[in-house]
Chains A and B, each alone.
Chain A
Amino acid sequence: MKISYNWLKEYVYFYLSPQELADKLTNVGLVVADVKTVEDDFCLDVEVTSNRPDCLGIIGIAREVAAAVGGSLHFPEKNFLSSNTEITKYINITVEEPVLCPHYTARVVRHITVEPSPEWIQKRLRCVGIRPVNNIVDITNYVMMETGQPLHTFDLDKLLDQKIIVRRARSGEEIVAINGARRVLFHDMLVIADGKRPIAIAGIMGGKETEISESTRNVLLECAQFEPRQVRRTSKAVGIASDSSYRFERGTDPEGVDYASQKAVGLVKDCAGGEIASGGIDIRSQRYEREKVTLRMERVHKILGLEIKRDVVSDILKKLQFNVINEVDNYIDVEIPSFRGDVYREIDLIEEVARMYGYNNIPVKTSISVRGSAKSKEEIVEGYIRQFLIGLGFYEVKTFGIVDTSSLQRVNLWSDKEGIDIANPLRQDESRLRTCLLPSLINTKRYNINHGTEQLKIFEIAKVYLAGDKMPQEKTCLSLIADTDFYTVKGIVESLLLNLGILSKCEWTIFNESRLFSNEKATKIQMDRVTLGCLGEASKELGFKTSTSLLELDMDFLVEKSCFTKKYQTLSLYPSVLRDLAIIVDEEVTWADIEKCIASVKISFLKEINFFDIYRGKQIPAEKKSMAFNLCFQAQDRTLKNEEVDIAQQTILDNLCETLGAELRK
């Protein structure tokens, strides 16, 4: 809210420059975002939090200043003379919805002249950023800025049947608001109507047909209280927000209606002449009862960690216009002023005390107890993977969880169901929660290629969102793209899985179910019959010029299965024997077949089998290949004799020949 420095000075004594005032206000929770010179005044732009509607009027700010600097408050007079004619002669008012409109008042001023308002009003409005219109409109704005209480004036002669009814709208009724917007109303909205039609959307905006014009002679000034949630709902529904709705939805002072009404009619008479009808209409469904709250001193101490005397506390509360009813021992009974609707509990009073005592005067204590905290398994695995990949030259990227609905993003590795859509996206084409990380990484790679970086290794650890019953399933995934061939990325993954203790449980099968991957070189990794992820060279369709491989893994599953507890294997004291072997087999025979076949021979001192080469071409018959590997033999209890290694090797070879039709390459 914008306030005028000079205007404020009228209500509270202080000796602070505009900047000093700004600092003071900021320190009590009213952040001053900006101080500007406007004509011979200063405009302070105050950020008022949504719990403090009382500070949406200059009087409210004055109260804060008075409490903060100790200056005394003095509010202007509101005396006026009225005529002898009773207001009821001109208007008849009914409130049909006392819950939604707990308090409705009206006053009538007749024979006025609509003209520009006096310069002093115009100047103040300009300072706080409101454009002057005419004396009547300006006065309602002026009083609203002063008190925080919105007001509205109708052209009395345009009200049909001399009636005002505060009622729910009839579904389908229409109104054209002062700003020109035509709106169809519904039954759940509250309107001010005359005998025939709605003339205002209650608390939000008046209607065009009854607005003040240059020819207006007689006015009705409405000053009321509306139920905040109702105003907010309707304001959102009709898409109209105003200074008035802004204040009503935050809650206005239930005891402030009359003051504002009287202040306004007084100004109307002063500035626009005319005569005020005697009396006012005041319809109130129930008397407002001020809240009473007890503040326990030990609670102040418990919450704030501050030793503070009772009289200091009660002094702060009094300065803030709280009514201290009773002070005994460790208690203070407080009556809450009507304009502080935000304060209704003990904790709220404690905040007031802390605020005025100064947050920065509360001691900084470091006496919290010692407590051990270890990393969770997911943090350990995630941290390990991150460091592992970074060490291999991968950059970590972060991409958005909301993606477009292009065909690239529609690729789905984890579920057959379509992705989940956002009901209110920022942009229509970016409306979906991603179901797979790879498309975002592909886009990131493309972005970098366009910015001159061709060679690139990137990864991301983030969630994908899969359609579920009520709530979506959120799966954390690890995804990467590298400018390498299939076996390089496979090697990286194997290394990773080995270190996470699960490589031996993984099964690798041909994978050709996704458009992202090449049909030839891609694999699905499974463990205990559950998919751990997919890996493969990028499909040609993706258009990368150099060899590119992709990976996406289910991190949740990986974390669940990872095992860091390693058991020590006694080191052998005896030398190992290495034997190289090359065999020729049919194309169809896989390395897994060979490994399995060798393992089936069950030689207790065979320690390792290491593949090192595959060869096709000269000297090898067509549709056959040569596979070269070495066998590492080592016993725990003795030095192996050459003869027994020879026998073992021959047994292995014989088995390979028999089972897989292999022959030794000479």
Chain B
Amino acid sequence: MLDKLKKVKEALQNEIEAAATLKDAEQLKIKYLGRKGAINDLMKLIPTLPAEQRATFGQQINSFKIDITDIINEAFKKLSSESIPKVKKEIFDVTLPGKRPFIGKMHPVTRTIEDIKEVFARLGFDVAYGPEVELEYYNFEALNIPPDHPSRTDFDTFYIKNDILLRSQTSTVQIRIMENQKPPIRIIAPGRVYRPDTVDARHSFMFHQVEGLLVDEGVSFSDLKGVLNQFIKTYFGKDVQMRFRPSFFPFTEPSAEVDISCSICSGKGCSVCSYSGWVEILGAGMVNPNVFKSVHYDPEKYTGFAFGMGVERIAMLKHGIDDIRLFYENNIHFLSQF
């Protein structure tokens, strides 16, 4: 029986070599593997064999069938690659863009406030809020800005009526917090403020500030410098330098303007810093004893510092934005950049 198998195989090999086209190979496939093919003919012989040989022969035919199939498939492969005009294989292009989900963006002013909040939160500052429509008292008198005082010139204000106005600074929140809490106090207060400034690239009648206040026993100007130094190095980068200049705010004494070395020109001088190498980023100082008096804190016992910064200004510096109006036009091509 084995001889029979061998002969069939030899015959096939000869015929395969002779096969020149796919069609020839197809016919061979039918001839050997088809329903009426050589293999099936061999299968039909099994029942004629003595019982003890049937199993062995069956196995032999099966492995023989696998060999034949391989030979024929090999031929197919060979012939198809020769006869069919070559179709270029698809090439996987990793550089094609992926299917990006569409994600929105946080407004750059919010982003900036969140970043500032984050830094101060890690220094133990809580976030506090206050009303935007305020009593004149909180915007002025309690902050040591009496009526008819020339410092009011710096705080032009929208009025609703008599003693009600739109707050022109977030320092109002200082008073509201201190009225309701005893020291120690450590807060920052972000929010909108309004000033009747004519709108141009640098001015907007509405903008955002972040106010900070820390009151406790034994707080000094030196601590103020320490905290702001931490903030500046964390927020703007550890190589950024800080400079304090004496200034005047009615609610702090001593008062300071704080500059940082210009990040655009690294302090060499450029148009952003008016060729001074420094840009002003916030106002700060020790809480004026008069402010403590208006909230009934004992200025002999408690000392504290306060600071305030313009959010848009910081965002403009950080991102190199040259026109404040862009923040409120809300052009998607602007918003999508941050």
Contact = CB atoms under 8 A, between A and B. Distances in A.
Interface string A225-251: 000110011000000000000000110
Contacts of A250: 150
B104 A398 contact: no
Contacts of A400: 205-206, 328
Contacts of B132: 401, 463, 465, 474
B246 A304 contact: no
Interface residues of B, number: 80
A365 B226 contact: yes
A458 B148 contact: no
Contacts of A620: none
A226 to B, nearest CB: 13
A391 to B, nearest CB: 6
Given A354-B254, A355-B254, A424-B158, A27 B245 contact: yes
A306 B246 contact: no
Given A29-B247, A49-B247, A359-B245, A399 B330 contact: yes
Contacts of A401: 132, 166, 192, 194, 206
B107 A368 contact: no
A365 B131 contact: no
B148 A51 contact: no
B164 interface: yes
B254 A424 contact: no
A587 B290 CA distance: 71
A390 B106 contact: yes
Contacts of A370: 124
A324 to B, nearest CB: 20
Contact of A394 (B104, B223, B243, B289): B104
A359 B256 contact: yes
A395 B246 contact: no
A28 B206 CA distance: 32
Contact of B160 (A50, A347, A372, A421): A421
B335 interface: yes
A229 B194 CA distance: 25
Given A390-B104, A471-B135, A368 B333 contact: no
A487 interface: no
Interface stretch (A124-132, A443-451, A567-575): A443-451
B222 A362 contact: yes
Interface stretch (B27-35, B59-67, B213-221): B213-221
B244 interface: yes
Given A232-B148, A423-B161, A365 B223 contact: yes
A658 interface: no
A233 B146 CA distance: 13
B133 A354 contact: no
B221 A393 contact: no
Contact of A360 (B192, B220, B243): B243
A31 interface: yes
A580 B244 CA distance: 72
Nearest to B286: A303
B196 A372 contact: no
A555 to B, nearest CB: 12
B319 to A, nearest CB: 15
A365 to B, nearest CB: 4
Nearest to A236: B148
Interface in A457-497: 457-458, 462-463, 465, 470-472, 474
A49 to B, nearest CB: 4
Given A249-B150, A447-B331, A363 B225 contact: yes
B323 to A, nearest CB: 15
A410 interface: no
Contacts of A320: none
Given A302-B218, A365-B222, A397 B253 contact: no
B121 interface: yes
A279 B205 CA distance: 55
Contact of A366 (B227, B256, B328, B329): B227
A451 B333 contact: yes
A365 B225 contact: yes
A373 interface: yes
Contact of A304 (B105, B221, B227): B221
A418 to B, nearest CB: 13
Contacts of B288: 347
Contacts of A463: 132, 192
A376 interface: yes
A392 B288 CA distance: 47
B55 interface: no
Interface in B172-222: 184, 186, 192, 194, 196, 198-199, 205-206, 214, 216, 218-222
Nearest to A420: B160
A635 interface: no
Interface in A389-435: 389-402, 420-426, 433
A54 to B, nearest CB: 13
A302 B303 contact: yes
A229 B148 CA distance: 5
B290 to A, nearest CB: 9
Contacts of B186: 371, 373
Given A28-B246, A451-B333, A471 B328 contact: no
Given A52-B248, A401-B206, A373 B125 contact: yes
Contacts, number: 233
B150 A397 contact: no
Contacts of A604: none
Given A395-B104, A396-B104, A402-B205, A447 B245 contact: no
B133 A465 contact: yes
A195 interface: no
B164 A453 contact: no
B127 A376 contact: yes
Contacts of A399: 328, 330
Contacts of A118: none
A96 interface: no
A569 to B, nearest CB: 30
B227 A49 contact: no
A633 B248 CA distance: 72
A241 to B, nearest CB: 10
A369 B102 CA distance: 44
Given A302-B218, A423-B159, A456-B332, A233 B148 contact: yes
Nearest to B120: A373
Interface string B124-164: 11110101110100000000000111110110001111001
B269 to A, nearest CB: 12
Given A29-B248, A397-B335, A401-B206, A350 B105 contact: no
A390 B329 CA distance: 19
B161 to A, nearest CB: 6
Interface string A341-383: 0000101101100110001101111111111110110110001
Contact of A359 (B214, B246, B303): B246
Given A402-B194, A453-B332, 19 more contacts: A27-B246, A304-B254, A305-B223, A347-B286, A359-B246, A362-B225, A365-B225, A368-B227, A375-B121, A393-B102, A396-B104, A396-B105, A401-B194, A402-B158, A402-B206, A422-B158, A426-B196, A426-B199, A474-B132
15 contacts: A28-B246, A228-B148, A302-B220, A305-B222, A305-B223, A347-B288, A351-B255, A373-B125, A390-B105, A398-B110, A422-B160, A423-B161, A426-B196, A447-B331, A458-B330
Interface of A: 26-29, 31, 49-52, 228-229, 232-233, 249-250, 301-306, 345, 347-348, 350-351, 354-355, 359-360, 362-373, 375-376, 378-379, 383, 386, 389-402, 420-426, 433, 444, 447-448, 451, 453, 456-458, 462-463, 465, 470-472, 474
Across the A-B interface, give the 7 residue pairs with the lowest CB-CB distance, nearest first: A305-B222, A305-B220, A29-B246, A371-B124, A49-B248, A359-B244, A351-B254
Interface of B: 101-107, 109-110, 114, 121, 123-127, 129, 131-133, 135, 147-151, 153-154, 158-161, 164, 166, 184, 186, 192, 194, 196, 198-199, 205-206, 214, 216, 218-223, 225-227, 229-230, 243-248, 253-257, 286, 288-289, 303, 327-333, 335-336
